[in-house]
Structure 1
Amino acid sequence: MKDADFVDLGVLPCSLDGGVAARAAIGLVVLGIDQTMELEFRRLMPLDGVGLYASRVFCDNEITPETLRAIGPRIAPGTELIMPGQHLDVVAFGCTSATMTLGEEAVFAEIHKVRPGIACTTPVTAALAAFKALGARRIGVLTPYEPAVNEIVRRYLDSRGVHVAAFGTWNKVQDPEAARISLDSVEDGVARLAEAAQLDAVFVSCTSIRLSERVEAIEARAGLPVTSSDHAMAWHCLRLAGVNDAVPGAGRLFGVTLEGTAAG
């Protein structure tokens, strides 16, 4: 017996639009211990039609060459978890020091095992693209890493033709500590690098370090462009996906395209 007050409308008509990712679908492989990257990406991508989809892979709390190398075989399975069977425009792997330890080509090969031919990036790949777009040749580098990892960073950047004119570190072995480095410390560190050497830009290496919420003030104090692992990679993901919008408040990098021209 039917309820006299119940109305069943049956199947209703509907239309389909482009969905959350109407302009771009971006996949992000995040380290399981990372506290920062997804927050930074969402601050830097306040754009309708840009979908961000993340998975996580296991990583030890300690940042050492050995723990970084161990991440390599986990990249493909982590990528496979992101929107299986659905279209992605870009996949980004979120660890700077692991990329430098493994090599960009090795990281890309892992991603392409499950997403053949897809555009992909890493914090290092993105930083190199950012330096080119900004016309920056003399780079200051700021890291939270221990000496052994810093040596990997310096050697890798040198192998890619980057002139590291100044270098500073907070010397943290535990990634959860790196994630708690204050924005005041980041601003002061960048300013000290800018005072110590003639620089074209500063790169803050490590996806655990925050930058986005104060990037314009940090750039203003230093008097030059500043980017970080998350900051550069968010920009690079957008540009690789064909999204060339300028993002207000996101710093100088988000005002340019991959070619270094003004963003729309």
Structure 2
Amino acid sequence: MSTLKPKVGLIVPPASGEVPPEPLALYGDKVDFVAVGLGLGKLTPEGYDGVIERVGELSRILAADGVQAVSLMGTSLSFYRGPKYHAQLVEIMQSESGLPATTMSDSVTKAFDAFGAKRLVVATPYVSSVNRLLEEFLVESGFEVVHLHGLGLERVEDILAVSQDELRQLGLEAMKSAKGEADALFISCGGLRTEVVTSELESELNIPVISSALAGAWGAVRLLGLSGRADTGGKLFMLDD
């Protein structure tokens, strides 16, 4: 009997092409992950334009490596041109790989739907131009942005360096203007390390906290027909599929 685990291919923003820690922490016991890097330097529309055309090519490379599904693990890369282009991007990934495909943006919206969350408070590391594109994407996708708070960062290395305390403060600052009107807190950007702080904020705020990094892993393994449940990560990973 084969003991090989199913394999998911991840397209990640950094050029190094390393598997992010969240998929491994959540599902490493039952899924193998491999990654290829886009080489994104700055989280700006110009930066995304410089790498987005490689998504099809990298989908083919991952398929050749024997993966069973492909996910684009970059939220802003998949939302910045709006919902229509996002749908086209998923179609490109599916066509080029011949496999099921998803994105972080797709995964987070499915996570909102899993909680019936429509009114969102949003916390991001992005600059204002990217925040505007995110708000437009969410509104066009059927959600209400109650409040959005960003850190104003654009370099990938600066985002990766955001500390756990800074993340917690980001979430709390974003919630200050919500006045109890939000269904969920959304922490956007797969480069923010949110595994620990998500559960902490959920305990403090008493609402679901959906982060790109965690929801991206959740959405990717569900493409395989597997459960998204896990022993860590917060409320999303306690839901029955």
Are positions 1:74 and 2:57 aligned together?
Answer: no
Residue 70 of structure 1 deviates from its aligned partner by 2.2
* Counterparts in 2 of 1:36 and 1:141: CA distance versus 1, 3 Å: farther
Q: RMSD over aligned Cα, in angstroms?
A: 2.0
Distance in structure 2 (CA, Å) of the matches to 1:187 and 1:37: 24
Are positions 1:211 and 2:194 aligned together?
Answer: yes
Corresponding letter in the other structure for 2:77:
A
Q: Show structure 1 runs of 4+ deviating over 4 A.
A: 33-37
Do 2:75 and 2:103's aligned partners in 1 also have CA atoms closer than 8 Å? yes
Structure 2's unaligned 5+ residue stretches are: none
Do 1:97 and 1:206's aligned partners in 2 also have CA atoms closer than 8 Å? yes
SS at match of 2:20: helix
What is the aligned partner in structure 1 of residue 128 from structure 2?
147
What is the aligned partner in structure 1 of residue 232 from structure 2?
249
Q: Which moved more, 1:162-171 or 1:230-239?
A: 230-239
Residue 234 of structure 1 deviates from its aligned partner by 0.6
Residue 34 of structure 1 deviates from its aligned partner by 7.2
Distance in structure 2 (CA, Å) of the matches to 1:194 and 1:95: 24
What is the aligned partner in structure 1 of residue 112 from structure 2?
131
Corresponding letter in the other structure for 1:209:
L
Distance in structure 2 (CA, Å) of the matches to 1:147 and 1:250: 28
Structure 1's unaligned 5+ residue stretches are: 1-15, 257-261
Q: Which moved more, 1:29-38 or 1:212-221?
A: 29-38
Are positions 1:38 and 2:20 aligned together?
Answer: yes
Among 148, 158, 169, the alignment partner of 1:167 is 148
Distance in structure 2 (CA, Å) of the matches to 1:228 and 1:37: 17
Offset from partner CA, 1:21-50 (integer Å, 9 cap, x none):
2xx3211111234798611221121433x1
Do 1:35 and 1:176's aligned partners in 2 also have CA atoms closer than 8 Å? no
Among 213, 216, 226, the alignment partner of 1:233 is 216
Corresponding letter in the other structure for 1:244:
S
Distance in structure 2 (CA, Å) of the matches to 1:138 and 1:27: 32
SS at match of 2:35: strand
Corresponding letter in the other structure for 2:214:
H
SS at match of 2:7: strand
What is the aligned partner in structure 1 of residue 2 from structure 2?
17
Pairing of 1:46-85 with structure 2 (within 5 A): 46-48=28-30, 50-59=31-40, 61-84=41-64
Residue 82 of structure 1 deviates from its aligned partner by 1.5
* Counterparts in 2 of 1:35 and 1:225: CA distance versus 1, 3 Å: farther
What is the aligned partner in structure 2 of residue 99 from structure 1?
78
Offset from partner CA, 1:97-148 (integer Å, 9 cap, x none):
11112431232133123213x2211111011100000111111111111111
Distance in structure 1 (CA, Å) of the matches to 2:39 and 2:167: 27
Provide TM-score, normalisation by structure 1: 0.83
Residue 66 of structure 1 deviates from its aligned partner by 1.4
Among 107, 113, 116, the alignment partner of 2:95 is 113
Do 2:120 and 2:143's aligned partners in 1 also have CA atoms closer than 8 Å? yes
Distance in structure 2 (CA, Å) of the matches to 1:174 and 1:85: 30
Structure with bigger gyration radius: 1
What number of residue pairs does the alignment pair up? 236
Distance in structure 2 (CA, Å) of the matches to 1:141 and 1:148: 15
User: Identity of paired residues, percent?
Assistant: 23
